[in-house]
Amino acid sequence: MRTKSFLLLVVLFFVSCQTKIQPRSPKLVVGIVVDQMRMDYLTRFQNHYGSAGFKRFYNQGFIAKNHHFDYAQTKTAPGHASIATGTPPAIHGIIGNDWFNKASNTNQYCVYDNTYAGVGTDTYEGKKAPTQLLVSTFSDEIRLATQLRGKAIGISIKDRAAILSVGHSANGAYWFSGKDAGNFVSSTFYMQQLPAWAQDFNDSRVIDRYLTAWNTLYPIDQYVESGPDNTVYERIPKGKQTPTFPYDLKELFKINNGYSVLEATPFGNSLSTDFALAAIAGEELGMDADSDVLMLSYSSTDYVGHNFGVNSIELQDTYIRLDKDLARLFSALDKQVGKKGYTVFLTADHGVAHVPQFLLDNRLPAGYFDKKSFTDNLKKAVSFRFGIEDLILNISNNEVYINHKIVADKGLDAAIVKNFIVSEIRTHQDIAEVYSTTELMHMDSHNPLVQRLQRGHQSKRSGDIVFTLLPGYLSNGTQGIKGTTHGSAYTYDTHVPFMMFGSGVQKGSTYERTNITDIAPTITALLGVSNPSGTIGNPIGKALIPH
């Protein structure tokens, strides 16, 4: 019996050894983040898209049609950080593009770090690093899983997008330095000098071919999905009398900060694609057995959207041209890596609201929040109530920061101060909700808006009181009724695309709700590596071919 049992164990051992663990695939993950892309841009402009760009996801891949941000701060930096880490600002720490630093009483930009210097630039634009990001990214985890043999590259017009999308251990993050330079640059956090392929790209002056006239790609009367070319809702570029085509970029060059003029045109996206193609070739991405990552953020859609709004022909033309840039990118990947060698996902860092005045003129609820008047009146009311100046340190990102030193020195009860401020804010006609953050973190999280506010609260960086504006309301700033923005917990800011195609991806779609924090664990599940250190999301199983 012992001999038979031993033989059985030996047989089972050798049978188990024959069971192969599926190797990692794909060889390259390409993450595309389209800045400020609402989900409805896919359907609204679909008749103008070709088969090789956005529609390739529909024809070959998986579409999550009810994909949302699950926190309130729908801005560029938190968006890229959440996509990369699988967790909200409450955990990864990037609570805004910038925020009030309570320790130093100064403004903190999300990726500013003056302990590092620029590479390819001598300006402050290079003093950047991911040191404010408190957790790892999926790129970091892929790098760790491959003993740092797998490469990770981040590219964007915006520094915060390039840096936060790849994180700490990346081989390089590159962003655009406009004005007189017109180069892609980096930071000594990542490297001491630009690699030869990046320097060659800058030296080639490919950028100069985009200093041309921006006109509509197709006859303008075909843009029936958008409003008139000239409306009162659009910001007028310096040097133009009206916000109308064509835009002569050579003529507008000097008066609009030199090469920075390209950022708010579709050519900024084309330039980013050119640089990405140079990176794919120069870094030989996807050319060995260890999985690489390329994170490419298209920022020009955001600049155009802010300036001209959701209903503009400028925005529509930008997406039509982006569709062609995507087709160009995918074609190059097919040739270099092979159609079965890479996986692409596409999402956005946030959506955007319609221009409020446009909504008002069409009898829809909307309006403008006068932040300056609100701030002045609130500070006066608090000073009058407690007989003390400067009890409010800062109001930013719809959060109020209390001066706790003065509260302690004067022997005030912090809870009473907070409750007064909350009650005062609640009387404002443009405010939807207002909470002391102490109260907020004890509230029932089954309320979706409450949950999104909770997931955005980071105790060391966030304020003492948080408020939300009514739906459709924006802070009027200095632009009046022109242009638009984002940053709320409402659907127009939270509903964005999530699409995949390529190696390991199953064709299909879902209307089940998925969240932005589900992207990172979906990618790590695809590759069989560990989740980022702060991940709370779950893999979108329907998107992946079962192993």
User: Which pair of structure tokens corresponds to residue 365?
Assistant: 């609820």
pLDDT in the model for residue 477: 58
Question: Got the DSSP string for 360-373?
Answer: HHTT-S-EEE-HHH
Given a contact cutoff of 8 angstroms between Cβ atoms, the answer to whether 507 and 61 are in contact is: yes
pLDDT in the model for residue 392: 97
pLDDT in the model for residue 25: 78
Amino acid at 293: V
Bridge partners of 401?
A: 394
The values of phi and psi at residue 500, to 5°, are -140, 150
Out of 3, 74, 76, 244, pick the active-site residue. Answer: 76
Domain 28-360+490-543 carries which CATH code? Answer: 3.40.720.10
**Could you tell me the mean pLDDT of each successive run of 10 residues in the chain, 547 residues long?**
44 44 76 98 98 98 98 98 98 98 96 97 94 98 98 98 98 98 98 98 98 98 98 96 98 97 98 98 97 98 98 98 98 97 98 97 96 96 96 97 97 97 97 96 90 96 98 77 94 98 98 98 97 98 93
Amino acid at 161: A
pLDDT digits (tens, 9 = 90+) for 363-379: 999 999 999 999 999 99
Answering whether pTM is above 0.85, one says yes
pLDDT in the model for residue 310: 98
Report d(CA 73, CA 456) in Å as an integer: 6
Report d(CA 63, CA 156) in Å as an integer: 24
pLDDT in the model for residue 82: 98
Task: Report the candidate in 161, 80, 146 with the shortest Cα–Cα distance to residue 519.
Answer: 80
The answer to whether residue 76 is catalytic is yes
Instruction: Give residues with Cβ within 8 angstroms of 301, minimum separation 6.
Output: 34, 35, 36, 37, 269, 315, 318, 319, 322
The values of phi and psi at residue 408, to 5°, are -70, -45
pLDDT in the model for residue 480: 63
Domain 367-470 carries which CATH code? Answer: 3.30.1360.150
Instruction: Give residues with Cβ within 8 angstroms of 415, minimum separation 6.
Output: 436, 438
pLDDT in the model for residue 478: 43
As annotated, the residues of the chain forming the CATH 3.30.1360.150 domain(s) are: 367-470
pLDDT digits (tens, 9 = 90+) for 44-95: 999 999 999 999 999 999 999 999 999 999 999 999 999 999 999 999 999 9
Question: Got the DSSP string for 106-171?
Answer: EEEETTB-TTS-EES--SGGG-B-STT--S--HHHHHHHHTTT-S-EEEEESSHHHHHHTT-SS-S
Crossing angle, helix 267-282 and helix 196-204, to 10 degrees? 140
Residue 482, CB-side half-sphere exposure with 13 Å CA sphere: 14
Report d(CA 8, CA 60) in Å as an integer: 46
